[in-house]
Amino acid sequence: MKFFLNPNKFNQVADYLFKPILILSIILFSLGLLFSFYLSPDDYQQGSTVRIMYIHVPSAWLALLTYAVMTLYSIAAIAFRMPFGFIVNTAVAPIGAVFTLICIISGSLWGKPMWGTWWVWDARLTSVAILFIIYLLIIFMNLSFENRVVREKVVAIFVLVGSINLPIIKFSVDWWNTLHQPATISKLSKPSIDPSMMVPLFIMTFAFTMIGIAIAILRIKTEIISRKSYLD
């Protein structure tokens, strides 16, 4: 537990975990590319365009997961006065922004042949675009405030307010009429995706997760070093 809340413990454990995670992410990503673009079949309606799914879905997952992690650390930082939460927020916000941008771009590339347009102000698309803007605002605030204490508290509060958008993204396809398809994998029903496509999708999602964790470890360690005097 201390690994997730203490910067010194984090550094100690991260030194052991980083290389295995990096190697695993490279292996999984290589396998994912092989399965996604060479071994998985074309869709009977979308043809080879469906392969964008293997980039779009994992990046969407990481975009939401990163913000969920930031929300938890913001609670820890504000409610329990754990400064490591502020460090995590600063370090991982750009990671979430990049994955959200990949999600938006890949979604546009996927939507063009299916919907006939690059973008529509659909509930799911709009809420994801708002998530991207939130990430950019967090990055901007981290660069703008000179007073570190004020900056960290403002960012943490902003993260908590922005977390309202997460359930909107998740359930937008159920709450409103939307062009975006509903979840293809659900705990309550049989998946609507064929196993030949589900396997590479799971591999790519796991690969993206490991890549995100590896990058997060590097950025958090860098942020800890930059604040060494403060933490000591």
pLDDT value at residue 40: 82
pLDDT of residue 105: 95
- Pairwise CA distance, residues 169 & 149, whole Å: 31
- CA 216, distance to chain mean position in Å, is 11
Between helix 123-144 and helix 53-79 the angle, nearest 10°, is: 50
What confidence tier does 191 reach under pLDDT thresholds 50, 70, 90?
low
Per-residue model confidence (pLDDT) at position 188: 42
pLDDT of residue 94: 97
pLDDT for 187: 44
User: pLDDT above 70 covers what percent of the chain?
Assistant: 86
pLDDT at 114 over 80: no
Q: Which residue ranges make up each domain of the chain?
A: 52-231
Rounded to whole angstroms, how far apart are CA atoms 232 and 227? 9
The number of beta carbons lying within 10 Å of the beta carbon of residue 205 is: 20
Give the tens place of pLDDT for each residue, 163-176.
999 999 888 766 65
Taking a C-beta distance cutoff of 8 angstroms, is the pair 217, 21 a contact? yes
pLDDT at 6: 75
Average pLDDT, the chain: 85
| Average pLDDT of the segment spanning 184-189 | 49
Q: Determine the pLDDT at residue 212.
A: 96
Average pLDDT over residues 187-198: 64
Cβ distance 42 to 50 under 8 Å? yes
User: pLDDT band for position 1 (50/70/90)?
Assistant: low
Determine the straight-line distance between the first and last CA of the chain, rounded to whole angstroms: 20
Predicted local distance difference test score (pLDDT) of residue 32: 93
In angstroms, what is the C-alpha Rg of the chain? Answer: 19
Angle at 136 between CA 139 and CA 91, to 5 degrees: 35
Query: Hey, is 43 helix, strand or coil?
Result: strand
The kind and range of the H/E element at 27 are helix 7-34
74 contact partners, CB below 8 Å, separation of at least 6: 85, 89, 155, 156, 157, 159, 160
For the record, the structure tokens of 24 come out as 């695993």
Query: pLDDT at position 182, please?
Result: 57
Residue pair 81/73 in contact by the 8 Å Cβ criterion? no
**For 37-93, how does the pLDDT look when each residue is reduced to its tens digit (9 = 90+)?**
887 877 666 767 788 889 999 999 999 999 999 999 999 999 888 889 999 999 999
Query: Has residue 227 got a pLDDT over 50?
Result: yes
User: What is the DSSP annotation of 112-163?
Assistant: HHHHSSS----HHHHHHHHHHHHHHHHHHHHHH-S-HHHHHHHHHHHHHHHT
